[in-house]
């Protein structure tokens, strides 16, 4: 699951990924999670419609600030 989600999101800590995705990528993520999810596991997707509605506070180094190039 982690390997799949890293295609679209930034891994910020154990079991937590975040990122801005298009509606198309969100649909791919939802489909992929549905296919990969095993019995007894769960995945939560938070969809935020506006950056104005989110406050993000980071203590320590911000892993999302690292530029990642392929």
Q: What is the pLDDT of residues 3-19, one digit of tens each?
A: 999 999 999 888 899 99
Measured between alpha carbons, how far is 1 from 27 in angstroms, rounded to an integer?
A: 15
> Distance (Å, rounded) from C-alpha 9 to C-alpha 21?
8
Q: How confident is the model at residue 69 (pLDDT cuts 50, 70, 90)?
A: very low
CB 9 within 8 A of CB 19: yes
pLDDT digits (tens, 9 = 90+) for 20-39: 999 999 999 999 999 999 98
- Domains in the chain: boundaries: 2-48
- pLDDT band for position 66 (cuts 50, 70, 90): low
In the prediction, which pLDDT does 49 show?
78
- pTM metric for this prediction: 0.73
């Amino acid at each position: 699951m982690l390997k799949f989600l890293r295609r679209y999101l930034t891994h910020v800590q154990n079991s937590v990924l975040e990122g801005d995705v298009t509606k198309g990528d969100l649909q791919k993520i939802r489909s992929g999670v549905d296919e990969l999810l095993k019995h007894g596991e769960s995945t939560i997707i938070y969809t935020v419609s506006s950056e104005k509605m989110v406050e993000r506070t980071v203590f320590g180094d911000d892993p999302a600030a690292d530029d990642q190039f392929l």
